[in-house]
Structure 1
Amino acid sequence: MAAVIRRTQTRLPFSRPSSFSTATATSTTAAAAAPESDPISRAKSAIRSESDPERIASLFLSSAHSPKFYGDRAIYKLSVSKLARSRRPDLIERLLEPQLGSGSSGSNPNPKSEGFHIRIITLYSEAGMLDHAVRAFRRIPDSPGLRHTERSLCAVLSAYLKNRKLDPLLETFRSAPEDLGVSPGITAHNIVLNALCTHGDVAGARKMLDEMEAKEVKPDLVSYNTLLTGYLKKGEESGFDDILKEMVAKGLPPSVVTYNCRIGDLCGKKRSSEAEELLDAMTSKGVRPNRTSFNMIIDGFCKEGDVEAAMRVFKRMPGAKKEDGHDGASPNFDTYVLMIRSLVEKGEFMSGLEVFKECVLRKWAPPFDAVKGLVEGLKKSAQINDAKYVVVKMRKAVRGDAVDAWKKVEGELSV
């Protein structure tokens, strides 16, 4: 079993897809399309299609009087994410700070729950407003009948982790029993293990893992996978092997994360064929490969120059079904771009065309450089009609600033 895993996976460094979508309707039109009896649905529709940050904030606040408003997570997430992309933390604060009151006025007299505070903490954290997230956490005892629990402790620890603030994370964790009256459980410990490994302190994470048993906090599969990933990122195989042996000795079966570590290590050592064999080994043990499993192997084969094997693994992905029958490992944008580029580099233009067709069917437009290489290759192979097909599909795909850029590329191709 010691050979089951070796190394973690890193995300494939590709740009995001160009949009196929048509221009959205105005917020007024979107709002009018929503049911008259549901003001929150109308507001969400308007916010979804609105680009003006001030207008987004106004639409959000105009719905806050609705009795159902506080229970609708989607309107919070949608509004805050759009304002964060617009770099308007002032408007995010305008939306969220009033929400943390006791709710003693207006049509929403109910005090906010700890879960609601956790939602605000998370929203602030995802917007990069860590100080606001911490203040929201500290205000929990101000609400009638509320106190901190491990749930809210984990929320603020996660906020520190997301914003890469290790020292205050550790201080909050260590002081929780005395300052908050909360004894950290397995979830809080796992967040700290993750933080230590993320910051390269695998030795500190190992020490914490040893201390957990003494505190009657039993490490779980997440704990061990976190350490495995940490050791592999540091390149410390001996530490990895020790953790793996301990994990197996405690009867914890490997998960897809565990197997993906091994897959990543094999591919990094140009042993992608062995990594591919693990796909069947995983399935036989009831562990279903995910998109990461396949992408790492495809990437490994492409780096080894074996695009035929990469294509074989690529074609296996739709067959990896979840237990509910839904597609559990369909290719993503990164997969398509990697395949198209690698096939073009190897002169496999018809296979590249096959992948391109599937990509645009998913309404994703590959990067111009990959498409340009494909078109030029098809032309050299006397596949003129196919080259024209690619150009026409890209012409329909690009939007916004990309339109002029593609016209320039298209002019260079002379198809």
Structure 2
Amino acid sequence: MAATLRRTLRSPLFRCRLSPLSTTTSADNPKPSSSPSDTTSAAKSAIRLESDPDRLAALFEAAARHPSFYGDRPIYHISIRKLARHRRPDLIERLLEGAKSDPKAPKSEGFLLCLLSLYADAGMLDHAVRIFEAMPGLGCRRSERSLCALLSAFLKNGRVDRLQEAFDRAPGEFGVTPGVASYNVLLKALCVISEVDRARSLLDEMPERGIEPDIICHDTVLDGYLRKGDHAGFEKVLEEISRKNLSPDTGTYNCRIAALCAKGNSLEAAELLEEMKTNGIQPDRISFNVLIDGFRKEGNMDSAMKVFERLKAVKRPDGGAMSPNFRTYIVLLQGLVEKAEFDKAVEICRECLERKWPPPLETVRGLLDGLTKSSRVEEAKDVMARMRKAIRGDARDAWKEIEAAVSLSEAPK
């Protein structure tokens, strides 16, 4: 490993990529070559472009010498996500433990919980637990926020047993009394393992334990009943929300939209978007995606496309656009291909590929078959060429098989 790092540091490619990070001065350049923000920006660009995990780690460590680095969390998420994809837990540990022990790094609760969460995202659960255990020794007092991060790490890694154990041990061993946020993580965990009735019982017990459940807790159990298909349980929680005069939020409405769509009542579900607007509640991408999928399942692609256009016009509270995500495009593309609406399907496929999101191969295969049977060979060739450029990794072989199977020369004249 040491030899690899030395070769990396000496390589022209590394020096070329690292050069924008430098802030040194010289006789020819008496002023610093870049500001801290420029340095951080250059580091993010270099890390995004780097495909070799060892060089990525070296770039990360070089950038960490700059004071502004530790305040820019996206760099951490980008780096650890890429190393996790490369299955390099050794490098993940090296970078995160280095950050934990670096005197320049903040020892705030927020920073340490960021490290904990990154370990959890990478599937390194025991490392995440050790960050939590180390907090007092690093001069950081644990709070309920810390407990929630630990519980969420267990949930993310499918260890509901350890989550329940940590929840029970928290007051005596960790000195943290679970509050409403911690209870909500436990409620989610119970719903994930299909113990929705237990979650409902816990919701009822919370006031007896001195914790008043909020709307998020009710939304969690509501979603649990929705996924279980328990209509009676779902309606009882809705009635309780009304009886307690809790203000429904986006999560509450999303559950109601999903429940109506599941019954084939997507037009009625669409009316809830107007109700949300009237009540000053901002729909999110989930609100629109669930509704689009509902219309797709009902074969109503005209309404699905209208919801899609409405989604693209919505502004987030910060003023930015609430853009569609990968799932939005895939659901639309599947529905349009199923309905043989190839004009719109080609448009959606191209738009998806422009965002560098290759659709599922079988869905595109259906589109190509439909285009060739409709004598739209040039459009089929265009989609095929765009897919060929977009496909990466193991999917290339599967795509070559699809190309070979779609005989454009045999298309009707």
Q: TM-score, normalised by structure 1?
A: 0.82
Structure 2: segments with no counterpart, 5+ residues = 1-11, 24-33
* C-alpha spacing 1:348/1:46, structure 2 compared with 1 (3 Å): closer
- Identify which of structures 1 and 2 has the higher relative contact order when contacts are C-alpha pairs closer than 8 Å and 6+ apart: 1
The equivalent residue for 1:142 is 137
Structure 1 residues 150-175: Cα deviation after superposition (integer angstroms, max 9, x where no partner): 12111111111111212221222222
For 2:285 and 2:146, locate their aligned partners in 1 and report how far apart those are by CA, in whole Å: 32
For 2:245 and 2:151, locate their aligned partners in 1 and report how far apart those are by CA, in whole Å: 29
Task: Work out whether 1:58 is the aligned partner of 2:51.
Answer: no
The equivalent residue for 1:75 is 75
The equivalent residue for 2:278 is 284
The aligned amino acid for 2:116 is I
The equivalent residue for 1:9 is none
The equivalent residue for 2:29 is none
Shift in Å, 1:183: 1.7
For 1:409 and 1:207, locate their aligned partners in 2 and report how far apart those are by CA, in whole Å: 51
For 2:345 and 2:229, locate their aligned partners in 1 and report how far apart those are by CA, in whole Å: 35
The equivalent residue for 1:121 is 116
* C-alpha spacing 1:72/1:259, structure 2 compared with 1 (3 Å): closer
Which is further off, 199-208 or 404-413?
A: 404-413
Do the aligned residues in 2 keep the contact of 1:212 with 1:219 (CA within 8 Å)? yes
Residue correspondences, number: 384
SS at match of 1:254: coil
The equivalent residue for 1:377 is 370
Which is further off, 380-389 or 342-351?
A: 380-389
* C-alpha spacing 1:388/1:46, structure 2 compared with 1 (3 Å): closer
The aligned amino acid for 1:121 is L
Corresponding residue to 1:260 among 254, 265, 271: 254
Instruction: Give runs of aligned pairs for residues 132-171 of structure 1, distance below 5 A.
Output: 132-144=127-139, 146-171=140-165
Task: Work out whether 1:32 is the aligned partner of 2:19.
Answer: yes
For 2:271 and 2:104, locate their aligned partners in 1 and report how far apart those are by CA, in whole Å: 60
Corresponding residue to 1:214 among 208, 217, 221: 208
For 1:109 and 1:359, locate their aligned partners in 2 and report how far apart those are by CA, in whole Å: 42
* C-alpha spacing 1:61/1:247, structure 2 compared with 1 (3 Å): same
For 2:356 and 2:109, locate their aligned partners in 1 and report how far apart those are by CA, in whole Å: 41
Instruction: Give runs of aligned pairs for residues 11-26 of structure 1, distance below 5 A.
Output: none
Shift in Å, 1:45: 3.7
Structure 1: segments with no counterpart, 5+ residues = 1-24
The equivalent residue for 1:232 is 226
SS at match of 1:279: helix
The equivalent residue for 2:358 is 365
The equivalent residue for 2:89 is 89
For 1:73 and 1:309, locate their aligned partners in 2 and report how far apart those are by CA, in whole Å: 40
* C-alpha spacing 1:276/1:51, structure 2 compared with 1 (3 Å): same
Shift in Å, 1:399: 5.0
For 2:307 and 2:69, locate their aligned partners in 1 and report how far apart those are by CA, in whole Å: 47
* C-alpha spacing 1:377/1:30, structure 2 compared with 1 (3 Å): same
The equivalent residue for 2:27 is none
Instruction: Give runs of aligned pairs for residues 249-328 of structure 1, distance below 5 A.
Output: 249-328=243-322
For 1:193 and 1:214, locate their aligned partners in 2 and report how far apart those are by CA, in whole Å: 16
Identical-residue share of aligned pairs (%): 50
The equivalent residue for 2:407 is 413
* C-alpha spacing 1:338/1:109, structure 2 compared with 1 (3 Å): closer
* C-alpha spacing 1:372/1:180, structure 2 compared with 1 (3 Å): closer
Do the aligned residues in 1 keep the contact of 2:187 with 2:202 (CA within 8 Å)? yes
Do the aligned residues in 2 keep the contact of 1:35 with 1:41 (CA within 8 Å)? no
* C-alpha spacing 1:83/1:350, structure 2 compared with 1 (3 Å): closer
Structure 1 residues 271-292: Cα deviation after superposition (integer angstroms, max 9, x where no partner): 2222223222222222233322
For 1:407 and 1:364, locate their aligned partners in 2 and report how far apart those are by CA, in whole Å: 18
Structure 1 residues 71-90: Cα deviation after superposition (integer angstroms, max 9, x where no partner): 33233323222221111112
Do the aligned residues in 1 keep the contact of 2:371 with 2:379 (CA within 8 Å)? yes
For 1:289 and 1:212, locate their aligned partners in 2 and report how far apart those are by CA, in whole Å: 29
Structure 1 residues 244-278: Cα deviation after superposition (integer angstroms, max 9, x where no partner): 22211222222222122122222222222222232
For 1:95 and 1:323, locate their aligned partners in 2 and report how far apart those are by CA, in whole Å: 35
For 1:392 and 1:110, locate their aligned partners in 2 and report how far apart those are by CA, in whole Å: 47
The equivalent residue for 1:14 is none
Corresponding residue to 2:180 among 176, 182, 186: 186
Task: Work out whether 1:340 is the aligned partner of 2:333.
Answer: yes
Structure 1 residues 101-152: Cα deviation after superposition (integer angstroms, max 9, x where no partner): 4x5xxxx3677233332122111111111111111111111124x3222121
For 2:363 and 2:136, locate their aligned partners in 1 and report how far apart those are by CA, in whole Å: 55
Which is further off, 30-39 or 249-258?
A: 30-39
SS at match of 2:280: coil
For 1:399 and 1:109, locate their aligned partners in 2 and report how far apart those are by CA, in whole Å: 39
Do the aligned residues in 1 keep the contact of 2:21 with 2:40 (CA within 8 Å)? no
Task: Work out whether 1:353 is the aligned partner of 2:346.
Answer: yes
SS at match of 1:94: helix
